[in-house]
Each structure stands twice: as structure tokens, then as C-alpha cells.
Amino acid sequence: MSNTSTFFGGGVSYEPRIEKNEEDIANIVIPNPNLLINGDFSVWQRGVTGNHTGTVFAMTADRWFAYVGSGTVTAGLGYGYEAGSQRLGYYLGSTGGATDVQIGQRIESTTLASYAGVDTKSLTFSIWAWSSTGTNSIDVHLHAPTAPDNYAGTDLKVVETLGTPKENTWSKFEVTMPWHDAFRDGLQIALVVQGTLQQDLTFSRAKLEIGDKATPFIADDPQTNMAKCQRYYWKDALNPRYAHPLGDIAQYWSIQLDWTEEMRTTPTLSYGYSGFLTAVDVQVTDIYPSGFYLQFGSNTTGDYGGVTGLTADAELY
């Protein structure tokens, strides 16, 4: 192919751009899907901070758990990498010292099953981390549940050293790990802080993807991210959710609500009461992954009643 062309014999020539375009296209990196939900740590339906102690996997940011073997850690919303005034990070701190500190996420088997046995040889994890002192190294652990989506028992499949974040600056870490076919039943990824945590750590832009290359992190739009989170946990935006009586005699009311997104499985409901309602007046008649139906009544005259703090939990435990 000639590098120049002439228009109508007038001596006007040009250099074609197609070769450069082909080169540009070849260098484009298409991001892989992120297997993690809420990797930008923007959704915190349970609250943006909390103290965690004891060997309990406590849910913190949506889809993310915190664990501590001994001592107490504060886990909450922090300022993420290049987030400016937006608090898009996961903060961990312990002033008194804590050991075996972990944060992580459990990935549903339906997300992973399609990858099993299809030339899947590796997983790549990437994350940004900030440290106040640069003293704790961080490992990555991958566990597989012993039964599909049931983490009462797990097998540790992979341990990799991520590295030590630098003091008072952001560091990016990437690690490629082997795929195990047991991950078709689910996968737990955990960031494990080595030694005793006596500093502040903040994590940002967490991504786990299929393959041996870390591709760019692109956050879901807020609506999509919330919808993915609400498959596992839902918190009522109305608190309380009121019902009003129609007269001064024994009343029977009902609340029917459909989830915005169908939940992973039949959830566990949690709620309180307000107004004339008491615990004996409220009964759950139907709960489904698509919604629920509550029935309640009172023999007490009153002008309102409501269900408070309504949540539905379908997390992976």
C-alpha cells in the first residue's frame, strides 16, 4: 500500500492514517469483568463504620466481611485512591493491636461455574493500598467452600504474598494465582494482614478477574452496583414503614413488598415495631426471593403502627 495518494492530479497528497489506527487498536486493553461486587467500596447499607472483635466474619461494606483473630479493629469507609473528596475506600485501623486481621468477599457459585474447565488457568487480583507506617505485609488467600455456596467449611487453595504498602502513599498491587476447579462451588478471597496491626490501612479499587493480566478497574454505575449488592442484602429506605388503622376496633394489616432485585435465596428478615404494634401482633406469612408479605394486627386502639429497621439478608455464610 502506497504511503501517499494524489487527488485529481492536483498534487495534493496525504498520508493515510489506517496503519496508525490499527496500531492504536492493537494497544487497547479491554477490561475483564470484575468478579467482585462493590469493588469501589461505595455501598455501605449496614453503616459506614464499626468496631469488630472476636472470630466472627462481620459484614461491613456491602459484600465485604471483616475478621479479626484477636484484638479489635475499626472497619469503615475511607478515602480511596484518587477519589478526591469522595470516600471510596475501605479503612482498617487498630490502636491497641490486633492479629489475623482480614477483609474479603465470598463469590457465588453461579458467577464462577461458567468458567470451570473452559481453559481457565489463572485468576488475577489487583488493588490499591495505603498505609500510615508501612509496617504490615499483606497476603491473599483463596478458599473454596466444601459445599456449593456454604462456607461452614472451606479448603484453603491458594496463598500468595501481595506486598507491603508504602508509608503515607498509595501502592498498587497485582498478583496472578492458579485457578482450581473447586472454585466452581464458590470462592472466598481474603486480604490477610501479617503480624499485629497497629497502623491505619486503606484499600481501594479491588478487582478479581479471570486470566493472567490485570486489566483496568472500571466501577459499576451506582444503580448497577446497588442492584448487585441488593441481591445479597436489602435495607428498607422507609423507617418506619407505616400502616394506619381504619377504625377503633381490632385491626389487621398487611405489608407486601417486592424487592427491586430478586435476592440470591429466601432471605432472613429482621425488623422492629413502632406505634401500637407489639411483637405478638406481627407475623411473617410469606417470604420469597422476589419479595415478602407481613401480616400484623392489634387489639389496642391506635392511629398508626409501623415496622422499623426492616432488612433482608441473603448473604453467603
The C-alpha atoms of residue 295 and residue 283 are separated, in whole angstroms, by 6
Q: Three-state secondary structure along 164-192?
A: CCCECCEEEEEEEEECCHHHHHCEEEEEE
Cell matching residue 95: 490502636
Phi first, then psi, for residue 27 (nearest 5°) are -90, -5
Residue 250 pLDDT > 80: no
Distances (CA, A) of 18 to 5, 11, 232, 285: 13, 21, 48, 66
| pLDDT score recorded for residue 12 | 45
- What is the percent of the chain where pLDDT is above 70? 82
Strand-pairing partners, residue 200, are 93
pTM of this structure = 0.85
**Does residue 240 have a cis bond before it (omega within 30 degrees)?**
yes
pLDDT digits (tens, 9 = 90+) for 285-294: 788 999 988 8
Q: What is the average per-residue pLDDT within 249-256? A: 68
pLDDT digits (tens, 9 = 90+) for 181-213: 899 999 999 999 999 998 899 999 999 999 999
Q: What is the average per-residue pLDDT within 157-179? A: 96
The residue among 91, 90, 51, 57 whose CA lies nearest residue 71 is 51
pLDDT digits (tens, 9 = 90+) for 1-41: 444 443 344 444 444 444 545 555 445 567 789 999 999 99
The residue among 156, 122, 153, 151 whose CA lies nearest residue 139 is 156
